Chains A and B, each alone.
Chain A
Amino acid sequence: MSNKKIKIILNGVKTACDKDDTVFNAAKKAGVFIPTLCHDMRLEPYGACRMCSVEVKGVSRLLPACSTPVSEGMDVRTESRTVKRVRKRLVSLLLSNHPNDCMRCETSGACKLQNLAYEYKVDGMEYGGERWKLPIRQANPFIVYEPNKCIVCGRCVRICNEIVMAGTIDFTGRGFNTVPDTAFRVARTLSICEFCGQCVSTCPTGALTDKKARGKGRVHEMKRVKTTCSYCGTGCSFYLNVKDDKVVRVSSDFFGPVNQGDLCVKGRYGYDFIHSRDRIKTPLVKRGDKFVKTSWDRAFAIIASNFEKIIKRHGSDSVGAFSSSRCTNEENFLLAKFVRTVFKTNNVDNCARV
């Protein structure tokens, strides 16, 4: 990326931006909001929804801000009359083929289309015409697909191909009947889908939803708790969505420094253990043949005294530690440091190295 600055005129204001910026990024940096539907910062610019259309002086058509590079002296208007009229038109066209059943939609409140319909005050009823009546696809444990709510922004298709590289879904059909689906519309199975739920994370509407979270509450009812995934050492961050002290869903943290919203099947869907009845919530000490519940203080005291005894009798190298790849990097680092400075041995390893 070159750092060369160029100047564009953004809504009448001279704005400096990087040479490699798109109009959308330049506007974002300057604090100018341009609505989008098909844009996801994790993905390559696509230019399908045309919501980000802006007026550029000297060009008779509108240009998509997401995929148009800036050029010196470019005169961009993001809220002109034409732009507003066109956005209104686009949202109403989308709604003309949308079930508009927000009252019982899982995504209501977090739906980008709903927000835009509210902003531009349209319902798409003036068109009449055909609407999709496609069956709901949910023959798998994690992902529910309601094609009728799909706005064909292609984000699910692209995230599956560009980031996950699983190629589970692609566009099927042509023209009005273009809709993302699996090849030959078969049910998602492990052989074709990783069930990472990346498609769900990027879907701007209620077309793709998490099966386990359905009916468990909507966005505004949730308390979002940011945490780090405990499955492996990558350290992905995400939000636990908590309602009534129950974790009902995991949602992406798009600004997570490690994963930027990306997650795998374990991080996104492997949270059943949290409320499992078999989950061990307190330390257990073995008394005879049985494990007995105890407190953390008590448990640590037992561990410490036993280690001390062994080291005294057999030397430092008689003990060691083996940490789990489910721990974060920081936890692993702490354990290594602990073993070397307290145990005074280098006997430390991690299962991820095997």
Chain B
Amino acid sequence: MASTNTVRKPSVKNLTIKVCVGTGGLAAGGQEVMNAFSRKLRALGIKADIAKKCVKKTGCRGCCSKDVLVDVRMNGNSATYQHISRNKVERIIQEHIIDGNIVKEWLVGPEYHAFHDRKIKILLKQCGEIDPEDIGDYTSSGGYKGLKKALSGNPSSVVNVIKKSGLRGRGGAGFPTGLKWEICSNEESGQKYIICNADEGDPGAFMDRSVIEGNPHSVIEGMIIGGYAIGAGRGYIYIRAEYPVAISRLRIALKQARKKGFLGKNIYKSGFDFDIRIKEGAGAFVCGEETALMASIEGQRGMPRSKPPFPAQKGLWGKPTIINNVETLSTIPHIISNGAKWFSSIGTKNNSGTKIFSITGKINNTGLIEVPMGISLREVVYDIGGGCPQNRELKAVQTGGPSGGCIPASLIDMPLDYDSLSSVGSMMGSGGMVVMDDTTCMVDMAKFFLEFTQNESCGKCLPCRVGNKRLYERLKKITEGRGKKGDIEFLLSLADDIKITSLCGLGQTAPNPVLSTIKYFRNEYEAHIFEGRCPAGVCEALRQYIVKAEVCKMCGKCFKECPAEAIAWEKKQPAVIDKGKCIKCGRCFEVCPFSAIK
């Protein structure tokens, strides 16, 4: 019988505690939770090094809204807790680890399972499982086996496998990766480069960050295989400086890979030499464009140039260069290990494999999901995402970030793949997905994205530099209630001209949010311009505050609070707002205890 004073020393032989320390986890206090677990275990008399071994860090699992997530595995049984903070650690140790009773109230709910327990997972499978800072974890789960297999064959067979797999670039445009590699491998040059594009800049996208934070070695392995396939001796990882956790984990991973001989001279005794350098971006969205990215690595201002020549022919420092996205590269080892047939069996024809989406916005479960290509939008929004909060009505989904377009709720059953998305005027992009409900104003949304792109334009080509600015200004005018007849036609024709004349992908796709919102929500534009009203009630200048006389309890609170003396009220009379005097500050709306003001 254990007395209250002496605590039993728990058995730690089969104990693993996994704490999520991706950026989401860290922000929620993951490091503190980890420290608390080790401290508490030590306090129970467990040696420091053993305690350290028990408590493991893992990367992001996708379900960031439930962070900090903690896995407790004991004797083959596993339990996952959500929303764990430092002060919850003691109870988990006491009840679960010592007494063997799972703390049921803190366990993850069905949302987590809908999110996390997908049947087919390739990239994110290891992300929440292995320790990203330990190469041993990666190799013991099958890591670097793909590299060994690739190096045992000749480079052209690697290219063929990737070609057969049907893998398309996950950076947005969806160019077949195998074909790109083939073009580059056919170029004759003493020096070639492979670049990993980790300059993930779309607002609301964090797939690449999570993959690197959770499993940096998969990206490195993919790059080595790619380098071998095209004959490159050097790789660059271009990563935004805003991702410090990912950068530090990459540095650790590179160091470990070099130590183990996966990088450097004569890898796996194949005679193939390869090494990778990290180049930190300085915070320019346009540097995600491949030619701008190369200019940035070369030390120049990140500005795109005309193609052709394509990077595969003339890229970094004029040498043939392959630029692949993080997701693409970390898929490569899996394809090599499991074969092209396995990969192409996932997803749909011409769109094989899985894709990671980051779902954000007006949705219950935000985070990262990995789904097979061709899954319907409905499944993503409702089955995985859990629909809109407060059961509000779904209005649209913006895919592809600021370069994509919005998909209206009426197309909810469309499949998510490259071709279907571009056919409805949007694009896959890097996989960002912003869900909007009926409280989102589509004009305002288009304005938001345009503000972003026109700010991030490099300023090189005229249509993007000035044209997008003019688009943005006109949208701003409309949202401020200064729209005029002809504005919609103006937007459409200017947007079309920008699309066909801009130099790079940024300019060519920047008007997409405007075009797609006009296509599907023209009535909202018309309401702004002709009726002077914002249907979603977002655009402040168009907001009108009215007292609902039947709900008003005549308390006079709004009358007292109004700073503009725009409200007339007498006892036992419902209040009335004078539109002429109202400054639309919203104070009355906020203070009304009966929601009588709309």
Q: List the interface of chain A (C-beta within 8 A of B).
A: 45-50, 53, 60-62, 64, 67-69, 82, 85-86, 89-90, 93-94, 96-97, 126-130, 151-152, 154, 170-171, 173-179
Excluding A90-B462, A178-B458, 6 further A-B contacts by CB distance (< 8 Å) are: A48-B461, A67-B305, A85-B497, A90-B463, A93-B463, A151-B462
- Find the B residue at minimum CB distance from A93: B466
Whole-angstrom distance between the alpha carbons of A55 and B308 in the complex?
Answer: 16
By size class, the interface of chain B is 20 to 34
Nearest 9 CB-CB pairings of A with B: A178-B459, A67-B306, A47-B306, A176-B469, A129-B473, A175-B457, A93-B466, A50-B501, A89-B497
CB distance from A48 to the nearest CB of B (A): 5
Partner among B303, B462, B470, B501 whose Cβ is within 8 Å of the Cβ of A61: B501
- Asked if A50 and B463 sit within 8 Å, CB to CB, the answer is yes
Partner among A86, A171, A174 whose Cβ is within 8 Å of the Cβ of B500: A86
Whole-angstrom distance between the alpha carbons of A96 and B502 in the complex?
Answer: 18
- Asked if B456 and A174 sit within 8 Å, CB to CB, the answer is yes
- Asked if A129 and B457 sit within 8 Å, CB to CB, the answer is no
- Asked if A86 and B497 sit within 8 Å, CB to CB, the answer is yes
Whole-angstrom distance between the alpha carbons of A170 and B295 in the complex?
Answer: 14
Partner among B459, B460, B490 whose Cβ is within 8 Å of the Cβ of A176: B459
Residues of B close to A151: CB separation below 8 A: 462
- Asked if B308 and A130 sit within 8 Å, CB to CB, the answer is no
- Asked if A50 and B461 sit within 8 Å, CB to CB, the answer is yes
Given contacts A47-B503, A48-B460, A171-B303, contact A61 B508 (CB under 8 A): yes
Is residue B447 within 8 Å, beta carbon to beta carbon, of the partner chain?
no
- Asked if A90 and B501 sit within 8 Å, CB to CB, the answer is yes
Is residue B248 within 8 Å, beta carbon to beta carbon, of the partner chain?
no
Is residue B266 within 8 Å, beta carbon to beta carbon, of the partner chain?
no
- Asked if A94 and B462 sit within 8 Å, CB to CB, the answer is yes
- Asked if A48 and B454 sit within 8 Å, CB to CB, the answer is no
Given contacts A85-B497, A174-B456, contact A130 B473 (CB under 8 A): yes
CB distance from B134 to the nearest CB of A (A): 40
| 21 A-B residue pairings within 8 Å (CB atoms) | A45-B306, A47-B306, A49-B462, A50-B463, A61-B499, A61-B501, A67-B305, A68-B308, A85-B497, A93-B462, A127-B473, A152-B460, A152-B465, A171-B303, A171-B459, A171-B460, A174-B456, A175-B454, A175-B465, A176-B459, A177-B459
CB distance from A50 to the nearest CB of B (A): 5
Given contacts A45-B306, A171-B303, contact A93 B461 (CB under 8 A): no
- Encode B445-480 as 1/0 by CB contact (under 8 A) with A: 000000000111111111101111110010000000
- Find the A residue at minimum CB distance from B503: A47
Residues of A close to B473: CB separation below 8 A: 127-130
- Asked if B470 and A96 sit within 8 Å, CB to CB, the answer is yes
Residues of A close to B470: CB separation below 8 A: 93, 96, 127, 129
CB distance from A248 to the nearest CB of B (A): 33
Whole-angstrom distance between the alpha carbons of A151 and B462 in the complex?
Answer: 8
Residues of B close to A47: CB separation below 8 A: 305-306, 461, 503
Whole-angstrom distance between the alpha carbons of A128 and B490 in the complex?
Answer: 13
- Chain B positions 542-560 with a Cβ under 8 Å from a chain A Cβ: none
- Find the B residue at minimum CB distance from A22: B306
- Asked if A50 and B458 sit within 8 Å, CB to CB, the answer is no
Given contacts A47-B503, A48-B503, A89-B497, contact A171 B466 (CB under 8 A): no
Interface of B is mostly: helix
Q: List the interface of chain B (C-beta within 8 A of A).
A: 284, 301, 303, 305-306, 308, 454-463, 465-470, 473, 490, 494, 497, 499-503, 508
Whole-angstrom distance between the alpha carbons of A158 and B586 in the complex?
Answer: 53
Whole-angstrom distance between the alpha carbons of A122 and B555 in the complex?
Answer: 60
- Find the B residue at minimum CB distance from A151: B462
Interface of A is mostly: loop
- Asked if A62 and B501 sit within 8 Å, CB to CB, the answer is yes
- Find the B residue at minimum CB distance from A88: B497
Whole-angstrom distance between the alpha carbons of A178 and B284 in the complex?
Answer: 13
Residues of A close to B501: CB separation below 8 A: 50, 53, 61-62, 86, 89-90
Whole-angstrom distance between the alpha carbons of A97 and B469 in the complex?
Answer: 11
- Asked if A50 and B301 sit within 8 Å, CB to CB, the answer is no
Residues of B close to A45: CB separation below 8 A: 306
- Find the B residue at minimum CB distance from A37: B462
CB distance from B277 to the nearest CB of A (A): 25
Residues of A close to B458: CB separation below 8 A: 174-175, 178
- Asked if B301 and A170 sit within 8 Å, CB to CB, the answer is yes
CB distance from A170 to the nearest CB of B (A): 6
Residues of B close to A173: CB separation below 8 A: 459
Residues of B close to A68: CB separation below 8 A: 306, 308
Whole-angstrom distance between the alpha carbons of A162 and B458 in the complex?
Answer: 20
Residues of B close to A93: CB separation below 8 A: 462-463, 466-467, 470
- Asked if B455 and A175 sit within 8 Å, CB to CB, the answer is yes
Partner among A89, A94, A174, A179 whose Cβ is within 8 Å of the Cβ of B457: A174
Given contacts A50-B501, A130-B469, contact A152 B301 (CB under 8 A): no
CB distance from B354 to the nearest CB of A (A): 30
Whole-angstrom distance between the alpha carbons of A130 and B466 in the complex?
Answer: 10
- Asked if B463 and A174 sit within 8 Å, CB to CB, the answer is no
Residues of B close to A53: CB separation below 8 A: 501
Whole-angstrom distance between the alpha carbons of A315 and B493 in the complex?
Answer: 87
Whole-angstrom distance between the alpha carbons of A85 and B500 in the complex?
Answer: 12
Residues of B close to A64: CB separation below 8 A: 306, 503
Whole-angstrom distance between the alpha carbons of A90 and B500 in the complex?
Answer: 12
Whole-angstrom distance between the alpha carbons of A61 and B305 in the complex?
Answer: 16
- Find the B residue at minimum CB distance from A55: B500
Given contacts A50-B501, A96-B470, A128-B473, contact A174 B462 (CB under 8 A): no
Whole-angstrom distance between the alpha carbons of A187 and B502 in the complex?
Answer: 33
CB distance from B304 to the nearest CB of A (A): 9
Residues of A close to B306: CB separation below 8 A: 45-47, 64, 67-68
Whole-angstrom distance between the alpha carbons of A151 and B465 in the complex?
Answer: 10
- Asked if A174 and B459 sit within 8 Å, CB to CB, the answer is yes
Residues of B close to A50: CB separation below 8 A: 461-463, 501-503
- Asked if A174 and B455 sit within 8 Å, CB to CB, the answer is yes
CB distance from A172 to the nearest CB of B (A): 9
- Asked if A60 and B500 sit within 8 Å, CB to CB, the answer is yes
Whole-angstrom distance between the alpha carbons of A50 and B507 in the complex?
Answer: 12
- Asked if B284 and A174 sit within 8 Å, CB to CB, the answer is yes
Residues of A close to B462: CB separation below 8 A: 48-50, 90, 93-94, 151-152
CB distance from A278 to the nearest CB of B (A): 46
Residues of A close to B460: CB separation below 8 A: 48, 152, 154, 171, 178
- Asked if B301 and A129 sit within 8 Å, CB to CB, the answer is no
Residues of B close to A152: CB separation below 8 A: 459-460, 462, 465
Residues of A close to B459: CB separation below 8 A: 152, 171, 173-179
Whole-angstrom distance between the alpha carbons of A61 and B307 in the complex?
Answer: 13
Whole-angstrom distance between the alpha carbons of A230 and B490 in the complex?
Answer: 56
Residues of A close to B305: CB separation below 8 A: 46-47, 67
Whole-angstrom distance between the alpha carbons of A152 and B455 in the complex?
Answer: 16
CB distance from B138 to the nearest CB of A (A): 39
Residues of A close to B466: CB separation below 8 A: 93-94, 96-97, 176
Residues of B close to A127: CB separation below 8 A: 470, 473
Residues of B close to A46: CB separation below 8 A: 305-306
Residues of B close to A82: CB separation below 8 A: 500
Residues of B close to A97: CB separation below 8 A: 466
Whole-angstrom distance between the alpha carbons of A142 and B413 in the complex?
Answer: 66
Which of A47, A89, A152, A175 has the most chain B CB atoms closer than 10 A to its own CB? A175
- Find the A residue at minimum CB distance from B497: A89
CB distance from A76 to the nearest CB of B (A): 15
Which of B306, B503, B508 has the most chain A CB atoms closer than 10 A to its own CB? B306
Residues of B close to A96: CB separation below 8 A: 466, 470
Whole-angstrom distance between the alpha carbons of A69 and B313 in the complex?
Answer: 14
Residues of A close to B454: CB separation below 8 A: 175-176
- Asked if B469 and A62 sit within 8 Å, CB to CB, the answer is no
Whole-angstrom distance between the alpha carbons of A143 and B466 in the complex?
Answer: 26
Whole-angstrom distance between the alpha carbons of A62 and B470 in the complex?
Answer: 21
Residues of B close to A85: CB separation below 8 A: 497
Residues of A close to B499: CB separation below 8 A: 61
- Asked if B308 and A61 sit within 8 Å, CB to CB, the answer is no
Residues of A close to B469: CB separation below 8 A: 129-130, 175-176
